[in-house]
């Protein structure tokens, strides 16, 4: 993989809703920020944009709108530089992979003024200070700006007209650059555009005498009139020799972008929905950045909404709630497109989202960070997940990828509250029914409970591995299954003359061996409960082949005893009011306990064969 500059860490203090208790974020190729509204996710996105562009802050950007010495915003960025773009040696900490860590800090000492930037001097082991010969890496801000990854921010609720103009300006720039690079022949030294511009410059230079004669004629005609109205006055036309570069608007003001169904009616971008506009914008941003251009802040009357990015090829796309106004299927496609950007090495993505669909646990180099506001109004960040730290193997990734195809809401575990993993649809339906009915009755014991459906025992173990990385208590319910099952295999020797003969034999139940995978993921922060044999057998004393969730709901709706049993199970799992688990459920820490429970269940059952 080629070495490209990147961002490694952000530290933010006294900026927006973030107070004097600083927050830190480790930045990976893909960073997904989750958390409740008004917790600071958008503030984090703006913080990186503010430092890399040395933005001037308004009073609203200061914490609690207080502009005072003890409340000055401070933001530290730790970036990774390469041999090609590193600053002086004193600003660099050598990394094992041959790159260099650079630390910079920005402080705003007032509104509407650029921040003060200083660097960490690794040679001296401290931040630069007054009296040092140099105070910051790469020298002047414009030079340093060209050395760091460039931010490209797409806000949630930008004005539709401004968004549309920005997209049009960006795409027009990309197309004009492409047109200007066309050559008559590949071997030509100059492009057709360069040849045309030179012809125009030659025309401008050669027409100076004719131009002066025309000016003198205009002056004479004008002064005949002016002298009658303003005696002793004359009008002079100044037309000095111009050295300004000649530019040709190749596409004109009529250039526009429309969207619509293929072969159907199309409409201008400013008439499109918010989701379409914003998706078009970050798509064009990506195309432009790969071609050396980025968006810039500009008013509605501005002619250009872009600028060159300079020699640096590294970019950070900052997306605020990209799922807004997108259809669920479009959200998942947009997620896949965004996750693919860092595959080019020169892109990092930072997304603030409320959608589980924008989380893909199977991607490498992905960090999921939860942003929360405490009771003291402090902002806290918690790194919930990093694949390399969670040590997901290929089987885990495949399990999570498959379940994500069926149910993207598996990622709700990252959005706060207590998490209960269940193996199948029946438990999921039953517990959510209990939760709904109890909330209607005023019982808030389950208001923060997220029931996560694993759709299989092996995925229970994979999800436990993910949740162990959270460092918080979680719960799981799974079936014990049975140690062995009856199977059959075709006997090829006896299957002759159209007859099919099977050999019947006993084999180890694959579902039973998955209990070992669950056991391997048990920690002090997990409470794992098993239903003896399966959920239906353990609590309803029956086994059915189909329509299990519907059958379960009918039982607990129509039979109060069954409702109470399932509620007791849920309360026992969550340890609400020290409730005990009902018969048929057990906690365990050794496979022998499961085997004993299953054998005891078998011993207690007698089948009535007279019906």
pLDDT digits (tens, 9 = 90+) for 439-453: 999 999 998 898 988
Mean pLDDT over residues 246-253, rounded?
68
Tokens of 392: 């997901």
- From CA 573, how far away is CA 570, in angstroms rounded? 5
Tell me how far apart the 2 most distant CA atoms of the chain are, in Å.
Answer: 129
| Percent of the chain surpassing pLDDT 70 | 79
For residue 590, what are the contacts with CB-CB under 8 A and spacing of at least 6? 519
pTM above 0.95, yes or no: no
pLDDT number for residue 65: 92
Tokens of 503: 């050999």
Element (H, E) at 212: helix 208-229
Mean pLDDT over residues 511-520, rounded?
93
Residue 590 has pLDDT above 80, yes or no: yes
Computed on alpha carbons and rounded to an integer, the radius of gyration of the chain in Å comes to: 34
- From CA 517, how far away is CA 514, in angstroms rounded? 5
Give ∠ CA 123-116-93 in degrees, rounded to 5. 25
Q: What is the DSSP letter of 358?
A: G
Give ∠ CA 398-402-406 in degrees, rounded to 5. 165
Mean pLDDT over residues 201-224, rounded?
80
> Fold for domain 1-149+354-390?
Rossmann fold (3.40.50)
Phi, psi for residue 174 in degrees, rounded to 5: -60, -45
- From CA 390, how far away is CA 367, in angstroms rounded? 11
- Domain range summary for the chain, segments of one domain joined by +: 1-149+354-390, 393-604
* Mean pLDDT lowest among 55-64, 344-353, 431-440: 344-353
Tens of pLDDT, residues 337-384: 777 777 767 788 888 888 877 777 777 778 888 888 888 888 988 887
Q: Quick one: 36 exposed, middle or buried, by C-beta within 10 A (0-12, 13-18, 19+)?
A: middle
Residue 459 near residue 421 (C-beta atoms within 8 A): no
- From CA 13, how far away is CA 20, in angstroms rounded? 5
DSSP string, 42-77: HHHHHHHHHHHTTPPPPGGGBGGG--SGGG--EEEE
Say whether 370 sits in a helix, a strand or coil. Answer: strand
Q: With CA atoms as reference, report the closest residue to 25 among 7, 42, 39.
A: 7
- From CA 57, how far away is CA 73, in angstroms rounded? 9
Residue of 1 and 370 predicted with greater confidence? 370
pLDDT number for residue 406: 45
Mean pLDDT over residues 504-509, rounded?
88
State how far Cα 29 lies from the chain centre: 10
Residue in the structure block whose two tokens are 């193997």:
393
Residue 25 has pLDDT above 50, yes or no: yes
pLDDT number for residue 229: 77
pLDDT number for residue 200: 80
Residue 294 has pLDDT above 90, yes or no: no
pLDDT number for residue 293: 57
pLDDT number for residue 344: 64
């Amino acid at each position: 993989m080629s070495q490209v500059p990147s961002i490694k860490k952000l530290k933010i203090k006294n900026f927006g809703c973030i107070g004097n208790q600083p927050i830190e974020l480790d930045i990976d190729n893909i960073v997904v920020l989750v958390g409740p509204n008004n917790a600071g996710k958008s503030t984090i996105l703006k913080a990186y944009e503010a430092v890399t562009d040395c933005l001037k802050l308004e009073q609203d950007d200061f914490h609690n709108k207080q502009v005072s010495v003890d409340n000055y915003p401070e933001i530290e960025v730790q970036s990774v530089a390469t041999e090609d773009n590193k600053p002086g040696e004193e600003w660099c900490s050598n990394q094992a992979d041959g790159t260099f860590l650079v630390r910079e800090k920005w402080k705003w000492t007032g509104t509407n003024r650029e921040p003060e930037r200083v660097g960490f001097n690794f040679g001296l082991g401290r931040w630069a200070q007054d009296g040092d010969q140099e105070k910051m890496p790469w020298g002047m801000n414009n030079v340093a700006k060209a050395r760091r990854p460039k931010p490209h921010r797409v806000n949630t609720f930008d004005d539709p007209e401004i968004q549309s103009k920005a997209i049009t300006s960006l795409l027009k720039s990309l197309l004009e650059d492409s047109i200007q690079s066309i050559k008559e022949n590949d071997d030509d030294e100059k492009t057709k555009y360069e040849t045309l511009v030179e012809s125009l410059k030659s025309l401008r230079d050669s027409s100076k005498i004719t131009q002066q004669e025309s000016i003198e004629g205009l002056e004479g005609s004008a002064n005949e009139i002016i002298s009658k109205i303003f005696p002793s006055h004359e009008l002079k036309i100044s037309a000095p020799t111009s050295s300004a570069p000649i530019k040709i608007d190749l596409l004109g003001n009529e250039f526009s972008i429309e969207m619509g169904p293929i072969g159907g009616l199309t409409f201008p971008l400013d008439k499109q929905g918010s989701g379409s506009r914003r998706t078009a914008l970050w798509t064009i941003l990506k195309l432009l950045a790969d071609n050396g251009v980025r968006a810039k802040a500009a008013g509605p009357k501005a002619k250009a909404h872009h600028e060159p990015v300079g020699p640096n090829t590294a970019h950070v796309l900052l997306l605020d709630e990209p799922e807004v106004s997108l259809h669920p299927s479009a959200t998942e496609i947009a997620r896949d497109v965004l996750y693919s950007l860092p595959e080019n090495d020169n892109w990092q993505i930072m997304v603030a989202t409320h959608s589980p669909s924008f989380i893909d646990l199977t991607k490498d180099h992905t960090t999921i960070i939860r942003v929360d506001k405490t009771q003291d109004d402090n902002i806290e960040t918690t790194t919930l997940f990093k694949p390399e730290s969670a040590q997901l193997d290929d089987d885990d990734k495949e399990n999570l990828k498959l379940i994500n195809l069926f149910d993207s809401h598996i990622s709700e575990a990252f959005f706060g509250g207590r998490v209960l993993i269940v193996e199948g649809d029946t438990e999921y339906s039953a517990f959510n029914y209990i939760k709904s009915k109890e909330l209607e009755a005023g019982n808030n014991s389950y208001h923060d409970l997220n029931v996560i459906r694993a759709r299989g025992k092996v995925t229970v173990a994979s999800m436990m591995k993910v949740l162990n990385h959270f460092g918080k208590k979680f719960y799981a319910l799974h079936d014990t299954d049975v140690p062995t099952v009856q199977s059959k295999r075709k006997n090829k020797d006896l299957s002759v003359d159209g007859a099919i003969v099977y050999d019947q034999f006993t084999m180890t139940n694959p579902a039973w061996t998955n209990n070992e995978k669950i056991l391997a993921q048990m920690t002090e922060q997990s409470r794992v409960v098993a239903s003896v044999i399966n959920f239906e057998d353990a609590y309803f004393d029956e086994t059915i082949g189909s329509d299990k969730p519907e059958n379960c709901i009918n039982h607990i709706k129509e039979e109060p005893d069954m409702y109470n049993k399932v509620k007791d199970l849920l309360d026992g799992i969550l340890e609400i009011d020290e409730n005990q688990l009902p018969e048929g459920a057990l906690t365990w820490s050794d496979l022998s306990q499961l085997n004993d429970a299953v054998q005891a269940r078998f011993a207690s059952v007698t089948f009535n064969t007279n019906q």
